[in-house]
Amino acid sequence: MENNIPIRCLGIAVVLLQKSDTGYKVLLLKRDSEVLDEAWCYIGGRIEQGEKAWEAALREIREETGLEGVVLYTSNKFDQFYLPAENYIYLAPVFVGFVDQEHEVILNDEHSEFKCFSFEEAVETASLPGNDDVLRFIEKHFVKKHPSKYLLIGS
């Protein structure tokens, strides 16, 4: 008999970056729901039946923020955490989306507010342990460096 903890990849995460006069800002959303209520997070959600992970990322961006025309990259980074009640490790690919400054964010009913933060502010504000590592990774590989064309979705 094996004693393994299963790993399940059921969803995605998206860090949205918006260009500003002072560099890139990170869009964080404040949850207003049973799941992670009052937590500041980047975008996340389930992959629906028949969807590819990147398709789920674009859908979740639209559903949670109303934003279209996002330039989407895969980051080669993963959100991960252990769910003790279900005894499995949740693993989600993290995508990076670039949006223009003039796009208007329209929140769905899962969120109460949003704000664009500097990376330092986002690292301090994001509620879940591990989000800080993801944000620092994104800053290093997608802001301080030009992202690889091989990571661009649809390239």
* pLDDT tens for each residue of 14-65: 999 998 888 899 999 898 877 777 789 999 999 999 999 999 999 999 999 9
Q: How far apart are CA 138 and CA 145, in angstroms?
A: 10
Collapsed DSSP state (helix, strand, coil) of residue 129: coil
Could you tell me the residue ranges of all domains in the chain? 7-151
Q: Are 74 and 149 in contact (CB under 8 A)?
A: no
- Using CA atoms, how far apart are residues 74 and 148, in angstroms rounded to an integer? 10
Burial class (CB in 10 A: 0-12, 13-18, 19+), 25: buried
For residue 17, which of 8, 6, 28, 9 has the smallest C-alpha distance?
A: 28
User: Whole-prediction pTM value?
Assistant: 0.91
Average pLDDT over residues 93-118: 84
Residue 95 CA to residue 78 CA, distance in Å, equals 9
Cβ(64)–Cβ(24) below 8 Å: no
**Pick among 3.40.50.300, 3.40.50.11540, 3.40.50.620, 3.90.79.10: CATH of 7-151:** 3.90.79.10
